[in-house]
């Protein structure tokens, strides 16, 4: 899988006759909505865990010194909380560029807080993409995040925005909480 997924994503869904699509965001898409949306609702998906196992060559790092950003790892029974956006399919032109570094749109079942569900898409960077860094300890992840930076800014800012956004939503993600504690130790 190439590190540029724009073409692959364009070929994935045709959205024939569809004027609205749900998108589930679990990383920067929670706190950086730089796109038009019709509606936004806190939501969760089942069977996936958020992990800082994806490398970032284009936003929070460089190809030579990648940053570490969020992806989803298949994990039966796990819950990942985030934000769902109802968007028009044209918005994927922008999103595919933004998420081009290894992320592919995948179909997920989104559960809203009131119990409603909807089918939607989430950008997931799987273990077969070239930028994938994989599992390591949360203290290693924190040390990595503390030193990385890229065209979109410091890796640490990406992480902190996400940790703060989850707090605002009243959600606790043990992986995020553990990295945050490790980052506090680094100072």
Report, as residue numbers or ranges, the catalytic residues.
99
Alpha carbon 39 to its chain centroid, in Å, reads 19
If one asks whether residue 53 binds ligand SIN (CB under 6 A), the answer comes out as no
Task: Give 158 or 183: the residue with its C-beta nearer to ligand SIN.
Answer: 158
Q: Do 44 and 166 meet the contact criterion of CB atoms below 8 Å apart?
A: no
* Of 9, 28, 152, 155, the one binding ligand SIN by CB under 6 A: 28
- Cα torsion 176, 118, 85, 25 to 10°: value is 20
d(CA 67, CA 176): 16
Task: Give 54 or 182: the residue with its C-beta nearer to ligand SIN.
Answer: 54
Q: Does 99 bind ligand SIN (CB under 6 A)?
A: yes
Are the CB atoms for 110 and 22 separated by under 8 Å? yes
Residue number of the CB atom closest to ligand SIN: 27
Residue 123 binds ligand SIN, judged by CB under 6 A: yes
Nearer to ligand SIN by Cβ, of 96 and 185: the residue is: 96
Question: To the nearest 10°, the Cα dihedral for 43, 49, 51, 55?
Answer: -90
Q: Is 145 in the site for ligand SIN (CB under 6 A)?
A: no
- Of 28, 31, 36, nearest to 91 by C-alpha is 36
Q: How far is Cα 8 from Cα 24, in angstroms, rounded to an integer?
A: 19
Residue 29 as a binder of ligand SIN (CB under 6 A): the answer is yes
What is the nearest approach in angstroms of ligand SIN to the Cβ of residue 83? 8
CB under 6 A: which stretch of 24-32, 149-157, 167-175, 179-187 binds ligand SIN?
A: 24-32
Rounded CA-CA distance 12/133 in Å is: 24
Which residue in the set 26, 48, 52, 92 belongs to the binding site for ligand SIN (CB under 6 A)? 26
Q: Which is nearer to ligand SIN, 17 or 52 (CB)?
A: 52
In whole angstroms, what is the distance from residue 162 CA to residue 154 CA?
13
25 interacts with ligand SIN by CB under 6 A: yes
Q: Which residues bind ligand SIN (CB under 6 A)?
A: 25-29, 69-70, 99, 123
């Amino acid at each position: 899988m190439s590190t540029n997924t724009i073409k692959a994503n364009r070929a994935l869904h045709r959205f024939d006759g569809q004027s609205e699509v749900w998108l589930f965001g679990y990383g920067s898409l929670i706190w950086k909505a730089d796109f038009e949306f019709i509606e936004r609702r806190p939501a969760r998906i089942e069977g996936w865990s958020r992990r800082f196992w994806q490398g970032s060559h284009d936003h929070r790092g460089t190809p030579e010194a990648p940053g570490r950003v969020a992806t989803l790892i298949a994990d039966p029974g796990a819950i990942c909380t985030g934000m769902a956006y109802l968007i028009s399919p044209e918005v994927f032109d922008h999103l595919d560029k933004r998420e081009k570094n290894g992320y592919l749109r995948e179909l997920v079942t989104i559960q809203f807080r009131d119990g409603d569900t909807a089918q939607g898409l989430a950008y997931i960077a799987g273990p077969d993409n070239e930028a994938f860094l994989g599992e390591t300890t949360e203290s290693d992840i924190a040390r990595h995040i503390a030193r990385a930076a890229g065209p979109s800014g410091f890796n640490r800012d990406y992480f902190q925005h996400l940790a703060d956004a989850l707090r605002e939503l009243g959600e606790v993600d043990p992986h995020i909480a553990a990295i945050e504690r490790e980052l506090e130790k680094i100072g």
